[in-house]
Structure 1
Amino acid sequence: MRHIYRCPLRWADMDAYGHVNNVVFLRYLEEARIDFLFRPDKDFQQGSVVARHEIDYKRQLVHRHEPVDVELWVTEIKAASFTLGYEVKDGDHIYVRASTVIVPFDFEAQRPRRITEEERQFLREYMDEAEPETALKAEEEAVAA
C-alpha cells in the first residue's frame, strides 16, 4: 500500500525559468513524510531523523495551481532504521523518484533507538519491496523490443 500526499505548489517554489526548483522537491518529500509519520492514530512520537536522501529528477515540473501527488511507501525495515521510497507525479508524469533512510531517535537521550514493535507493524502496512526503477526498466525494454 502507498500513502498519497496531495502537495500544493507555491509561487515561491519556482526558479527563474518558471519551473519548480530542484531543492524544493526535498521539501515536498519532507511534507509527505510528516503527513505519513505524524498522524493522530499512528506516529513516531519519540522522534526520527533523516540519515540519507537520494533523488532522481526525471522531468521538470512547471508551476500550476493544481497540487502534485507524492506517493510514499516503505522499501526496507531494519532494527534501527527504515527506508521510504517516493514518486512525485501526476497521472503518468513522474517528476521525481527518491528514497530516504530514516533513523528513529530518542531526543531525550540524544541517540538513535530501535524501531518499536508498534512502529514496525505500522511500517509493514506500507511495505513495497518492488523498486519503481525495476518496473521502469522492464517497461522501457518492452517498448524497445
Structure 2
Amino acid sequence: METSAHVIRVRVPMRWSDMDAYGHINNVEVIRMLEEARILAFGPPGGTGAPGTEPPVPLFNTVPPNTQSLVSEHRVKYLAPLEYRNVPADVDIWFSSVKGASLAISYLVLDPVTNKPCVKAETMLAFVDGTSGALQRVSAVQRELLGRYTGPSVFA
C-alpha cells in the first residue's frame, strides 16, 4: 500500500498481553494502539513526561501552558483481525478535519507482515483550559502545522 504525502506512518508495538484467546489484538488494545500512534506522530501533551525525540508534527508542543487534549469521540471499524506479531504494526495517521475548537485524526492500522488494512478509525480531539475547562480554539500556528498532514477522512 502506498502512503500519500499527507500521511505519517508510525510503528506501534504489539504486546504479548494485547492478544485475545484467538491470537488477535483485543479491541480495547487497538484503542491503546491508536493513542500510541497519536503520541508518536504528534508528541506528548503539554508538559507530561521527560523530553525525548521530536515527533514529525509537534502539535502538542504548540498549545498554551495548562492545556489539556481531550478525546471526545472514537469511531473504529475492524476490517480484518489484527494478528499478534512480534513486530510493530504500521499505523498511517493524518488529520481529516480541523474545525474551530476541535480536530479529527484518521488512522489506518496495517498488518506489518501482509500490509493488509485491519482497522480504520477516527478520533475527535479538543483542547481545553486545564483550570476553567473552557474549549480553546485551534490556533493559526496549529492550523499551519497541520496543513501538510490534512487529508480525507478514513471513512470518506
Is the pair's TM-score, using the shorter chain for normalization, greater than 0.5? yes
Match of 2:71 in 1: 50
Q: Aligned partners of 2:154 and 2:59: how far apart in 1?
A: 26
Q: 1:14 and 2:23 equivalent? A: no
Match of 1:115 in 2: 138
Q: Please say which structure displays the higher CA radius of gyration.
A: 1
Describe the SS at the equivalent of 1:47.
strand
Q: 1:94 and 2:110 equivalent? A: no
Runs of 4+ in 1 over 3 A off after TM superposition: 131-134
CA displacement, residues 60-96 of structure 1 (integer Å, 9 cap, x when unaligned): 1111111111110111111101111100003540010
Describe the SS at the equivalent of 1:59.
coil
Q: 1:64 and 2:82 equivalent? A: no
Q: Aligned partners of 2:68 and 2:41: how far apart in 1?
A: 13
Deviation, 1:100, is: 0.6
Amino acid at match of 2:107: Y
Match of 1:37 in 2: 42
Deviation, 1:118, is: 1.0
Scaled by the length of structure 2, the TM-score of the pair is 0.78
Unmatched 5+ residue regions in structure 2? 1-5, 45-53
Deviation, 1:3, is: 1.3
Match of 1:126 in 2: 149
Kept in 1, the 8 Å contact 2:106–2:122? The answer is yes
Higher helix share: 1
CA displacement, residues 4-55 of structure 1 (integer Å, 9 cap, x when unaligned): 1101111100011111111110001000111222164723243311010000
Kept in 1, the 8 Å contact 2:19–2:84? The answer is yes
